[in-house]
Amino acid sequence: MTHSVLSPAEIASRLTDSRLKDWQYQDGFLTKHFVFKNFQQAVGFWVQTALVSESLNHHANWSGVYNRISIQLQTHDAQGITELDLKWALAAEKILASLVV
């Protein structure tokens, strides 16, 4: 499936959505750093977003230590940010909102 790459102006415009306010466009990726109450909550978030990744067939770059997770999104086959990345980020925010952080 081919995905259209969004321009930097389109990305900036989409990041004005209040649900995406903490996401940043850096070095060609959408990025966000999450901090949770504890390791269990961080792993729970990670697992739930892994299920989103599988359902969208779109996998983020993740790294994590204890209660912190950093995520970078990019549609690799398009070599840029597409609507798929924004959809993934919105799904992650919905999961985050369901947690008591």
CATH of domain 8-98: 3.30.1360.20
Paired residues of 38 in beta bridges:
none
1 vs 14, residue with greater confidence: 14
- How many of the other CB atoms lie within 10 Å of CB of 15? 18
Confidence of residue 100 (pLDDT cuts 50, 70, 90): low
pTM score of the predicted model: 0.91
| Domain-wise residue ranges, the chain | 8-98
* 51-63 per-position pLDDT tens digit: 999 999 898 999 9
24-37 b/e (C-beta count within 10 Å ≥ 16 → b): ebeeebbbbebebe
Pick the closest to residue 23 from 81, 65, 78, 99 (CA basis).
81
